[in-house]
Amino acid sequence: MAAVKRAYLAVYNWAVFFGWAQVLYFAVEALLRSGHEDVYAAVERPLQLAQTAAVLEILHGLVGLVRSPVSATLPQIGSRLFVTWGILWSFPETRTHILVSSLVISWSITEIIRYSFFGTKELFGSAPSSLLWLRYSSFLVMYPTGISSEVGLIYIALQFIKASEKYCIRMPNKWNYSFDYFYASILVLLVYVPGSPHMYTYMLGQRKKALAKSKTA
C-alpha cells in the first residue's frame, strides 16, 4: 500500500510540475515576443489546469496521504482558485494588465520548485540539499510578488465586477436570498490583510525547521 501511495504522489507531483513548467515557458515566450498584454492568452488553459489540479492537495491532506495541514493548504489554494477563475477567467478586462505577468511567473517558479521537490522525494526517498534549500527559500521573494499581484488584480477587477453585476443574486427570488459578488470580493481582499502575514510567518517557521533538520541529517 505504501508503494502505491508513493507511486501515485510521484505521478501527481511530476504531472503538475510539467503543467507549471509549460505555464512558465509560454509566459516568458509571450512576454519576450509581444509584451505583457499577451501573457494571459498564452497561458490560460495550462494555468487553469495546473492551478485547479491543486484541489487534489486538499483531498490528500483530508485523507492523510500527506502531512500538510489542510488549515494551511485550503486558504492558499482557495485564494489562487478565486484569482484564476473568479477574476481572470470571469473578467477579461483584467487579463492584459502587467500584474498578470508577475502573478503567473511568481506562481509558476514557486510551483516548479515545490512539485519537483516532492516528486523527487517520492521517487528517491529524499531530495538534493540544493532543491530543499530552494523549496524553503524561494518563497521569500516569490510569495510577496505573488500575493501583491493577486491583491492588485482583485482590486483592479472591482470596477468591472460592480459594473457587470456578474454572479450577483438580487431580491426578490424564490430562495429569499441575495448575494453581491462585489462585496464578496472586497471581503476576500480584507482576508488578505491578516492572512498574508500569517501565512508568511508560517512558511518562515517551516523553513527554519526544514533547514535545521537538513543540517543535522
Q: Which residues are catalytic?
A: 143, 150
CB atoms near residue 106 (< 10 Å): 22
170/114 Cα distance (integer angstroms): 42
Side-chain-facing half-sphere of 29: CA atoms under 13 Å: 9
Closest C-alpha among 34, 64, 63, 30 to residue 46: 30
Per the CB < 8 A criterion, the answer to whether 43 and 104 are in contact is yes
Per the CB < 8 A criterion, the answer to whether 27 and 133 are in contact is no
CB atoms near residue 11 (< 10 Å): 13
**Sign of the C-alpha dihedral computed for residues 64, 66, 69 and 72 taken in this order:** negative
Phi, psi (degrees; rounded to nearest 5) at 169: -120, 120
